[in-house]
Structure 1
């Protein structure tokens, strides 16, 4: 047997990392301070992988030769500090999986907003064009599980800043950075620069034969890009200017221009509507183009893509009131994009676990489009302070059902009830999916 690998956290990424470690002949041990889901326990038992829950065996953990840390565990965690103090290498599951990919190539997507949609669309284009690929990372299977169970020549991976914090060798052939806005500042000592540095790590190992796709209209990205030694081919996308290389929209036409390919497509043919989705579509279209997919296949896939659950998802029309589930909007900027795309009066459901949010970014759109705010969280004080002077009606609720009922009472025919919380969901829900599901169930029960 090889050296002892410790996996901290037994969620999807942790269990995937353990499966891969076991398959590659490592001795491994999974430790979770919380409880492990029964389905994951069964998987670990079936493979003969040792695990513990509700505690950490520090003596065993500190004897590891390598620790694979769940992205949910912060650096300031006391056990992590002890591990670092002993000089034991700590990596993310993304890094672990990458070390066993061989000649396979990765298209990796990160960003504060739009990364899930961009990842799903990129994967859809690749699949439709006949590429043998898998969807991994924060969406789909864990990267390590996929590498262990069903390796592919191509992986399309959604990657968070937390996962990028613990990479060493990870090198995507195509890296996409959708944008950078203030998010997760609680994990970065409330220093925006730390978070910016984290996002740019996606390109840190890229070489001259790789591609770095980024938004030329994103002020933060453009301000900082030259401070990083990026060796790969830069491919910007923009709505504001024509580009010699990259993607841009002019006269309602998307133009994708790379060294080997050039094609156009009307934005009216995009399956995804809204300005923010035009950015996501340009990024995905560029990625598909640089890896050599045929332009007619790219066009067809962009037209046939279906929107994701919990991301601007139409739920129902009830007596002339439309309900939209945007539960995946876990930060202020996501909610800004959602409001920006609204064309009718909005009853906005906001709230949850605040991650250091600056609600002033929403104020102009709220004044213009929102007639009432329904707060859904255990602490709504910051929301009341931010919007109380400008929104006549604000109510507090303590569940998805209560929020839906309150919003429906406040809505008139022709209005939209928009769940776009701008916050994490852990106060009242398991995660944003649980929040979105409870919202949809409550709407269907009206």
Structure 2
């Protein structure tokens, strides 16, 4: 790809936009950054540094005329498609930061990429750790962590590249082709952006469309959208399953063991010492192990990481146990399926805190597990009334405005043997800047108020 001297507009100046701008400058492009946020939101020294290198900035909104005068538009993940739709109509190339980096990446044959509605970050970290334990120098990034453009810009020599990839990034790929592609799952999400679940699934399957028979495509056995998009899957198909199946290359033998089929050999591993909670995390591990083994990881690394991997905060994270009540922070559950997996994979009697900003999906898939495992629902934030309409008749339900009130209600209801589970099934953007802040606030509230057990807290709003 030749961009020296070309006029390039970068839309969005977050992590991805900054990394793309650095790479574009290095390759000789003339860069204009278009950003909706005001200039004051950014570090002045950062902006000044780029301006001294010739970058032009326009803050506070986008001007379509700038896009239409450019030779190339580079878009950050999540930028609404309407912003650059006119460029596509005028045949002005539009690439995402991931595709831009891919165009200049040297060791393309060493890339493993992971996508899916839930579990991407955890599985990406598992794959990365397995390869590191096998002696490789590994770059880990993409949608989570460091943008790929940063690696290409720095020209750092690595053996393997492990990327988390989102549907937003896959919207704008053209030639991106991982040696191993992993699709973990597809459940309704981002329906505020996509016209249908099918469109969302289509972008997930684009992970595989540029692969060849020399590459590997890992996906769930009986994945519901496979029949619709099978033609996009160009690599050697490797299925995984939560139970033993003849057609699966990786599966759970039982709750304590799993099997990988590598070539003609079967490898059996024990989950003894595995620290992560939930069945879905065991599935994440077997998929990570299969992907890493296909990329050259050793069997001994798979055995070793089982006991060493500790997981991430805010993902079914054990917080504490006080007065016989367990507290679990699953703030990363920003969609319905993530909450479903938490309820499915955990044992106990739950006071479930849900709510935040509604993302368009139905909450009805939760009904079976709520009936079976949930003692009470505490609903908060913008989505509380929407959720209550679907779930309020299933179990005792309380409506509150914010997380502090939700924790207080949960403490009033909690008895020894209960588990207070924050698993919102919604985004955090009604009251928090991200799911991490929501999870940290939950932790702080638990440690501040749980020892006091606010039995006298007034319950203001009960849903009937």
What TM bracket, shorter-length normalisation?
over 0.9
Corresponding residue for 1:194? Answer: 199
Distance across 2 between alignment mates of 1:156 and 1:330: 23
Corresponding residue for 2:168? Answer: 162
Post-superposition shift, 1:338?
A: 0.6
Distance across 1 between alignment mates of 2:374 and 2:36: 42
Give the 5 Å matches for 1:158-307. Answer: 158-189=164-195, 191-218=196-223, 220-226=224-230, 228-243=231-246, 246-251=249-254, 252-259=256-263, 262-307=266-311
Aligned partner of residue 82 in structure 1, secondary structure = helix
Aligned partners of 1:136 and 1:146 also within 8 Å = no
Pairing 1:62–2:65 present? no
Deviations along 1:85-141, whole A, 9 cap, x unmatched? Answer: 322111111111111111242110001122121111111111222211111112111
Deviations along 1:283-317, whole A, 9 cap, x unmatched? Answer: 10101111122111222123211111111111222
Structure 1 unaligned blocks of 5 or more: none
Distance across 1 between alignment mates of 2:106 and 2:46: 26
Residues 36 and 112 of structure 1: CA distance in aligned 2, closer, same or farther (over 3 Å): farther
Aligned partners of 1:215 and 1:221 also within 8 Å = no
Aligned partner of residue 10 in structure 1, secondary structure = coil
Distance across 2 between alignment mates of 1:50 and 1:174: 38
> Which of 356-365 and 371-380 deviates more?
371-380
Aligned partners of 2:95 and 2:173 also within 8 Å = yes
Distance across 1 between alignment mates of 2:99 and 2:43: 21
Corresponding residue for 1:412? Answer: 415
Corresponding residue for 1:33? Answer: 36
Corresponding residue for 2:19? Answer: 16
Residues 302 and 2 of structure 1: CA distance in aligned 2, closer, same or farther (over 3 Å): farther
Deviations along 1:393-419, whole A, 9 cap, x unmatched? Answer: 322132x32222222122112211111
Pairing 1:365–2:369 present? yes
Residues 286 and 431 of structure 1: CA distance in aligned 2, closer, same or farther (over 3 Å): same
Distance across 2 between alignment mates of 1:444 and 1:17: 41
Corresponding residue for 2:146? Answer: 141
Distance across 2 between alignment mates of 1:323 and 1:21: 47
Distance across 2 between alignment mates of 1:52 and 1:287: 42
Distance across 2 between alignment mates of 1:135 and 1:17: 17
Match of 2:86 among 71, 82, 85: 82
Aligned partners of 2:202 and 2:229 also within 8 Å = no
Corresponding residue for 1:375? Answer: 379
Deviations along 1:168-200, whole A, 9 cap, x unmatched? Answer: 0111111000011111122111x2211121111
Task: State the number of aligned residues.
Answer: 440
Distance across 1 between alignment mates of 2:183 and 2:129: 18
Corresponding residue for 1:42? Answer: 45
Distance across 2 between alignment mates of 1:341 and 1:245: 21
Match of 2:10 among 7, 12, 24: 7
In the superposition, the TM-score normalised over structure 1's length comes to 0.93
Aligned partner of residue 360 in structure 2, secondary structure = coil
In the superposition, the TM-score normalised over structure 2's length comes to 0.90
Aligned partner of residue 203 in structure 2, secondary structure = helix
Corresponding residue for 2:353? Answer: 349
> Which of 405-414 and 256-265 deviates more?
256-265
Deviations along 1:68-90, whole A, 9 cap, x unmatched? Answer: 11221122x2x322222322111
Aligned partner of residue 445 in structure 1, secondary structure = helix
Aligned partner of residue 185 in structure 1, secondary structure = coil
Q: CA RMSD in A?
A: 1.9
Pairing 1:122–2:158 present? no
Match of 1:320 among 324, 342, 348: 324
Aligned partner of residue 187 in structure 1, secondary structure = coil
> Which of 25-34 and 263-272 deviates more?
263-272
